[in-house]
Amino acid sequence: MSCLSGNCQKGTGAILTVVISEPKIISDLAQKKDASPMRTPPKGMRPYRGLLDTGASRTCISPKVAEEVGLQARGMMEMVSASGTTPRQQYLFALGLPMGTGINPSGEEEGRILFPFPPIEGLDFDAGRNLPFDVLVGMDIIMHGSLKIDFDGHFSFCF
């Protein structure tokens, strides 16, 4: 079992780094047998700040994420939220979690990105309020693991 942990940000919540990618890139990387560790992510794979949002049934990305990663819209879908129902663009993407980032004995940064979840059919969301995150990690992901938030503001997500 893998775990991530951090501290909830006052007024925002549990934020962690996530990697958003086109699902095809993950499939292509998995098929390479001689792949060396990546020093820079390939085009179509980028890190973002994600909010663990137990009130969201699905994982959503900002329009900025969709544009930067190069995701193609798959049509419109209704998003239901506390403020009403609005049509939003739907995207297919992979969500990865950086694990074990550190410095190896040679002084080089190393780590890996796990993509333990099936491709996500998510929507874009209005990120126009200068939010400190670009991804809402919803219950479609959280339900694959265990999320614990302590009274002192520390959180852990194990999957």
143 has a pLDDT exceeding 80: yes
Q: What was the pLDDT predicted at 103?
A: 58
pLDDT of residue 128: 76
Among the listed residues 44, 16, 20, the one whose alpha carbon sits nearest the alpha carbon of residue 142? 16
Q: What is the pLDDT of residues 40-89, one digit of tens each?
A: 566 778 899 999 999 999 999 999 999 999 999 999 999 988 888 999 99
Identity of residue 96: G
> What integer pLDDT is reported at residue 11 of this predicted model?
84
Instruction: Kindly indicate the confidence band of residue 109, based on its pLDDT and cuts at 50, 70 and 90.
Output: low
How many residues are listed for the chain in this entry?
159
Helix (H) or strand (E) holding 99: strand 84-103
Other Cβ atoms closer than 10 A to 121: 14
Q: Domain residue spans in the chain?
A: 3-28+42-158
Q: What is the DSSP string of 108-157?
A: -EEEEEE--S--EEEEE---TTT-S-SEEE-HHHHTTSEEEE-TTSEEEE
Range 3-28+42-158 has CATH code 2.40.70.10: yes
Paired with 122 in beta bridges are 91
